Structure 1
Amino acid sequence: MSLSPEDDLDVRIRRTRDRLRRAVLELASEHPVEEITVADLVRVARINRTTFYKHAASPADVLAEILYADLDRIRAGWLDGAATIPETWERSAAELAEHLLRYDALYTVGLVGQRSAVLYRLLIDHFAASARGLMDRDPALLPDGPGPREWRARAYSSFIAHGQVGIIEAWLSEPTPRDPALLISVSAATMSTGLHGL
């Protein structure tokens, strides 16, 4: 059985995307993504610049796509559940620890001793969306107070997001091997406290 031209094109597109993903993960494990040039990426991926620009605008876009997909999968898995808030944060913190360990080298390079704007923004967006998703699922989690509900939801989500990224930075600064239980306990405790008593 032979492949149709469309199937052959799909295989080539998938192969190119896989090469780009592997290359950006390799390079981002050595240098902050902001320092990776398109020339570096196409050299490691063994593709040309024209092909690269058919798939992405920058190396940071390729990396963000990989990490967002993993974080979005994690969030979708627990936002749909019927678990209690403490159980939800415990589970999400454990899955976050697995994510950070899976991409340990690139997070260490990007967030320890410097701050990669790409990684920082990505994590802030993830936590803000996660906190907001919980408040939308359970409106009683949003504390009463002055100002419109929408503004308070954005403000609390942003506060929680920045705190969680601070916890990640502190954990990544620990010597290796890092204890995931440390991240999980602090992250879950602060998220639970934050959504019940801001």
Structure 2
Amino acid sequence: MSVDVRVQRTRTRLREAVVRLAADRPVEDIPVADLVRAARVNRTTFYQHATSPAAVLSQLLYEDLDAMRADLIAGFAASTSPPRAIWERSAAAMADHLDRFDALYTAGLVGHRSATLYRLLVDHFATTATTFLEQNPALLPPGEGPLPWRTKAHGAFLAHGTAGVVEAWLSQPSPRDHALFISAAVEVLPPWALGR
């Protein structure tokens, strides 16, 4: 089913406006009044699309991250590459995503200013890592608890560490070195995640 042109136009306006505004301050600090003014829509129209500026931004970023993860997961399943190469491809895709939305991630994550962006990235990384580990259970180290729990716990561990690498990389001056991000994102992984 196709989306009505007016609905799509409003959604585009809201997304473009929230990206512009979030480049200057954390999305949690953007009042609805500022967003509707920047998007040239009224409050009623806004609330037909979202509950908050953070919801608009999250929807936009999740769509980009979900598409990226779908490509990576398809690559995981079809790949005969070693785990390290898969993690490197994943980190390269993330560096590209961070570049596309550089100003808003810098405004929100440098100095820990946006819990919304941090949580969004942790959710993305946890889902991606958990999916990778579900497809490669032999990588998990032995330990207590059932496999599904250990997969989830190890995925969460990897997610929070990767979010920390993102924050550290964003604190570097622009333009940022992708090779530095990729190297750091892979080198902080524990040996078991790299198949060692």
Name which of 4, 7, 23 aligns with 1:10: 4
Which structure has the greater CA radius of gyration?
A: 1
Q: Structure 2 matches for 1:131-170, cutoff 5 A?
A: 131-170=129-168
Aligned-pair identity (%): 57
Q: What TM-score results when the alignment is normalised by the length of structure 1?
A: 0.91
Shift of residue 194 of structure 1?
5.3
The residue identity in structure 2 corresponding to 1:77 is D
In structure 1, C-alpha distance between the alignment counterparts of 2:165 and 2:173, rounded to whole Å: 15
Shift of residue 189 of structure 1?
2.9
In structure 2, C-alpha distance between the alignment counterparts of 1:193 and 1:99, rounded to whole Å: 26
Secondary structure of 1:31's aligned partner: coil
Secondary structure of 1:80's aligned partner: helix
Please list every run of at least 4 consecutive aligned residues from structure 1 whose deviation after the TM superposition is greater than 6 angstroms: none
Indicate yes or no: 2:69 matched with 1:78: no
**Counterpart contact for 1:160–1:194, Cα < 8 Å:** no
**Counterpart contact for 1:93–1:183, Cα < 8 Å:** yes
In structure 2, C-alpha distance between the alignment counterparts of 1:192 and 1:155, rounded to whole Å: 14
**Counterpart contact for 2:107–2:113, Cα < 8 Å:** no
The residue identity in structure 1 corresponding to 2:63 is A
**Counterpart contact for 1:89–1:188, Cα < 8 Å:** yes
Which residue of structure 1 aligns with residue 101 of structure 2? 103
Unpaired runs of 5+ residues, structure 1, are 1-5
Indicate yes or no: 2:14 matched with 1:20: yes
Which residue of structure 2 aligns with residue 88 of structure 1? 86
Shift of residue 190 of structure 1?
2.9
In structure 2, C-alpha distance between the alignment counterparts of 1:44 and 1:63, rounded to whole Å: 14
Name which of 61, 74, 94 aligns with 2:55: 61
